[in-house]
A and B are shown apart, each in its own frame.
Chain A
Amino acid sequence: MIIHPRAFALAAALLALPGCGRPARLDWFLYVPTRVDAYVLDPNGSTPETTVSAGQIEELTLRTDDGVDLGAVWLRASVQPARGAVLFFHGKGGNLDSSFPRLKRWANLGYDAMGFDYRGFGRSSDVEISEPGIDLDGFAVVRAVKARAGALDRVFYAGQSLGCAPAAQRSIAEPSAALVIESGFASLAAFKDDSTQMDWPQEFITDDRWDTSARLRELTVPVLILHGTADDLIRPYHAHLNDAAAHDPKQLVLVEGGSHSDLPEVLGQGYAELMHGFVDQWIPPP
């Protein structure tokens, strides 16, 4: 029988680490970066919604306050003046290239879009990834967004999957006009609760908490929560927790049949209507 390397790594960690004298921490399981030397940032897509012109794309390198370089892209809206700008926080896997179709979709909806790779992802500096580190990343990226879009009252943050957590983190520190969280979990503790039903402290295994629900309780910006009813990675239970934590104005949209990463495709034209209907009411016209 061939043992998969990742299964082997798990078993090895379980068996070997007691002898190392340092307790195992599993934060690194949260992040699945794909590293590259250069981005493709292909303007062409498989649909008109994910196709832009090369002239709209501006690749950037941003520097954080702790000296980390981040790969980023500023994608101008297909129609100018833009309706506003979105800062997108991608999920725990892949990199800027794999999230680029989503940015192109935003651009074709009329929003300037900023995307970036967290530290350790894509061509960002290959350093340890952590919740405090991503906080510094977000700060640097918001600075770049402000330089292009002006004040944050015409900017909204959007996150997908794990990206909802840093989007909420950023919203606490530097609130934007609105927050869109798609397929996000409520917290690592809630993630553990839902899967195990056990109440042991999440701190037993991770330093990062990514407590989006707690942050939503503090936030006063409008929040749009999207979740697929067939999400088999993060169940809709988390969307309900986040909805319960968020203050008005808020909107919860459960997408019938939607799974973890396909809500724009499942919603079709309804995705554009939903975004315009929610976001545009909180962003002043250009």
Chain B
Amino acid sequence: MRLLISRALALLAAGIAAAGCGHATRVRPTPSGQLEASLEFGGPFGQVEGYTIPLPLATAGASYGLTDQADAFANVHLTPAVFGVLGLDAGADLMPLLDQGPWPALNLTGRGYLFTDLRAASAYLELDATVSKRFGGHFVTYASVQSMLQFGGGPPLFGLALGESFDLDPWSLQLEARWYEPGYDTMNLPTRWWSVGGTGGFGVMLGIRRRFGGGGGSPR
């Protein structure tokens, strides 16, 4: 039975990799005129032979600050390439509310995904809302609600995230806990997701970013 489960996990892990849920939350737009490169790793925890590990999803990308409150970004998904699947996403951030006084910043992210092996394709639209508050100059604490629409007939997907970003210009490091699909019963599945109360899957994401150009520092 252990063999069966571990192999099923591998299959499904690969599947998720192919669809790419390997992004850390976009907390705030890249500052105006700056280019930011990013590497992001992680995913939901699954169990292999008794060991619980986050799925090794990885993306690399870049963003450019259009204004101090809006940017555009694009990413390539590295893990799906293992399966001969090209994975790309592109989108934009808009921050309508700034981090001022007691009020947190609000960032809205829209992102389109396309995955294809040139024989078949899948597409998704993700819409996220993220509130964040800067503490002590370098730390940004955030919480996010995420939704993903699937164009291949699958149900809408949801997620909740809580994380911390540590900024040391021009670098920033982001660590995030995420609850994937909190309303979905994940008990008795071949993949032993690390669920929360038997629903959804818990995971972690790590993001590393470096900014280039512009005036340095963040005005946000």
Q: Which residues of A contact B (CB under 8 A)?
A: 3-4, 6-7, 10-11, 13-15, 17-18, 22-26, 29-30, 32, 92-93, 191-206, 230-235, 260
Contacts and interface: CB of A to CB of B under 8 A. Distances in A.
B13 A10 contact: yes
Nearest to B51: A7
Contact of B18 (A7, A15, A22, A204): A204
Given A10-B13, A234-B190, A200 B18 contact: yes
B7 A32 contact: yes
B170 to A, nearest CB: 28
| A22, A205, A233: residue with the most chain B Cβ atoms closer than 10 Å | A205
B5 A233 contact: yes
Interface stretch (B23-31, B116-124, B132-140, B171-179): B116-124
Contact of B120 (A29, A203, A235): A203
19 contacts: A6-B6, A7-B53, A32-B4, A92-B4, A192-B11, A193-B154, A195-B15, A199-B150, A200-B15, A201-B152, A203-B117, A204-B84, A205-B11, A231-B188, A232-B190, A233-B1, A233-B4, A235-B188, A260-B1
Interface in B154-196: 154-155, 157, 181, 184, 187-191
Nearest to B188: A232
| Closest CB pairs A-B (n = 3) | A23-B84, A199-B154, A199-B152
B23 to A, nearest CB: 14
Contacts of A203: 117, 119-120
Contacts of A195: 8, 12, 15, 189-191
B19 interface: yes
Interface size range on B against A: 35 or more
Given A196-B16, A198-B157, A233-B4, A13 B191 contact: no
Contact of A204 (B3, B5, B15, B191): B15
Nearest to A20: B82
Contacts of A231: 188
B207 to A, nearest CB: 20
B96 to A, nearest CB: 30
Contacts of B184: 197
Given A32-B7, A191-B190, A201-B120, 8 more contacts: A14-B82, A195-B189, A196-B12, A198-B154, A201-B121, A204-B115, A205-B11, A260-B1
